[in-house]
Amino acid sequence: MSASLDSAATEVREHGGVARPGGEAGLGELCVLMKLGEIVLKGSNRQLFERRLHNNIRAAARGLGEIRLSQRKGVIVIRMPGGSDLQVAELAERMRNVMGIVWIHLVRRVAKDLDAVTDIAVRSMAERTGTFAVRARRRDKRFPMTSSELAGHVGAKIQEAHHLPVKLKHPDNTVFIEVDKDEVFVFTDGIPGQGGLPVGMSGRALVLMSGGIDSPVAAHRMMRRGLKVDFLHFSGMPFTGPESIYKAYSLVRQLDRFQVGSRLFVVPFGKAQQQLKNSGVERLQIVAQRRLMLKTAEALAERLGGAALVTGDALGQVSSQTLTNITALDDAVDLPILRPLIGMDKTEIMAEARRIGTLHISELPDEDCCTLLTPRQVETAAKIEDLRQIEKRLDVEELAEHLAGSAQLHKPSFLGDSAPAA
Ligand code: ATP
Ligand code: MG
């Protein structure tokens, strides 16, 4: 599976794909075939997971036209009756972002007829160069040939038609033939999907989303483990401009490709930061601010039905992320704080941010609220008792409720603002 789906999509664009033989309905129809990973292992809960995945697939395919899903063990096939090959290629492209899918293939759906299968397989190798192999498997064992007989037969015909050499180990091209109950699928290429679990399967959480590099990566990692997430951003407004909000908005729009239907809550945090500073927190300003963010997030999560908070903390990356300070942060709330990046290096996080398409947005300049009112020296070993004292004086619990209530809701969609409502 060395070649990419892109080359298959390009082939579709440039040549209209493999010609449809015979004119018989359904022959050679282009479809998307997807292999599932962990979902296969989930035993009796499997149906629930599959239903979730089907819903997510439909949401990701929104606006492309009517689709039909069919589920086989560990495999989903999407057909697009009446869709053009180009639309099917676009559909495959969208599936790259759906969590829970391990491999995505653009396939030709053929009747269970040896000649039809052979014809499509031969055509799929037109304009290819180098060595090739045919791999056949039968999900339906009633097919009159064994897998190796089928592969041998088709391989001989390809050789005859295109004069290409067969090479069973590490060939340049592989033709896959998968025999199903009512049809056969023929394809040559595939691309890896996101893997993980379908979004929503693990419940709901609230991501604390700065405009930085780390929190979008943390969000992606948790979505990949099946969490549906809402986003909360604190801006330094009214003491900073709106740039950080624009960044958070673009980041969430980018991440919306992975879950569809994202909500971003924005809280103007500047005045609360000023209040903390006026109360004389000094070196504790940063940790006290972060505790207030977490308390606000907890209050909002309660309203949204979120069962956990997610942050982009990595151990020791900045002064607020020492082990002592992280302990002081955990003390601020009852909800679990998930920190999927805790053991990662910055370079690893940046590579992942590039891969999920958020790095270029995070690197745009902005005025982060955390750099507002930063003390000359930051406490690296905050004492929980000191923090609690300060918070009592300020009635921080009420402040957090008030801040949560002031959150403004935005709905950044990967389909753009003109997208129809889900
Ligand atoms: P990031 O790159 O995500 O901004 P960072 O390395 O800059 O992280 P901090 O600024 O200490 O580290 O923030 C740690 C975590 O706290 C962030 O990953 C995020 O989850 C949360 N956080 C920080 N600032 C904000 C903010 N303005 N709004 C929402 N969450 C924030
Ligand atoms: Mg930051």
Cβ-count burial 79-100 (b if 16+ within 10 Å, e if not): bbeebebebbbbbbbbbbbbbb
Distance CA 123, CA 101 (A): 28
> What count of residues does the chain have?
422
Task: Check residue 367 and give its pLDDT.
Answer: 73
The pLDDT of residue 4 is: 46
**How many Å from the N-terminal Cα to the C-terminal Cα in the chain?**
35
Report which protein residue has its CA nearest ligand 1's atom 26: 210
User: Cα of 355 to ligand 2 centre, how many Å?
Assistant: 20
Whole-model pTM?
0.89
- Predicted local distance difference test score (pLDDT) of residue 265: 98
Token pair 């959480």 in the structure block, residue: 205
How far apart (Å, rounded) are the C-alpha atoms in residues 217 and 53? 22
Extended beta strands in 111-188, E state: 132-138, 173-179, 184-187
Taking CB atoms and a 6 Å cutoff, what residues make up the pocket around ligand 1? 208-210, 212-215, 232-234, 293, 311-313, 317-318, 320-321, 369-370
User: Which of 178, 199, 226, 202 lies closest to 72, judged by CA?
Assistant: 178
CA atoms within 13 A on the CB side of 124: 32
Q: What is the pLDDT of residue 370?
A: 63
User: Could you tell me how many helices (H) and strands (E) the chain has, helices first?
Assistant: 14, 14
- What is the pLDDT at residue 48? 80
Give the position, in ligand 1's atom list, of the atom nearest the Cα of 218: 18
Question: Positive or negative, the Cα torsion across 355, 358, 364, 370?
Answer: negative
- Amino acid 57: pLDDT: 97
- 104 CB contacts (<8 Å, ≥6 apart)? 5, 32, 33, 34, 92, 95, 96, 190, 191, 192, 193
* Separation CA 293–CA 329 (nearest Å): 10
Task: Please report the domains of the chain, with CATH numbers, ordered by start residue.
Answer: 7-192 (3.30.2130.30), 203-410 (3.40.50.620)
Average pLDDT per 10 consecutive residues for the chain, totaling 422 residues: 45 41 55 85 75 95 93 92 92 96 96 94 94 93 90 96 95 96 93 94 96 97 97 92 94 96 96 90 88 98 98 87 91 98 97 97 81 68 86 93 97 72 40
Which ligand has the nearest atom to the CA of 216?
Answer: 1
Q: Which of 339, 326, 337, 332 minimizes the C-alpha distance to 382?
A: 326
The vertex-169 CA angle with 166 and 171, nearest 5°, equals 55
Output the CA 271–ligand 2 centroid distance in Å: 19
According to the model, what pLDDT value does residue 417 have? Answer: 59
Among candidates 56, 28, 133, which has minimal Cα distance to 76?
A: 56
Rounded to the nearest angstrom, the distance between the alpha carbon of 369 and the centre of ligand 1 is 10
Helical (H) or strand (E) element with 79: strand 75-79
pLDDT of residue 114: 94
Axis-axis angle for helices 384-394, 323-330 (nearest 10)? 40
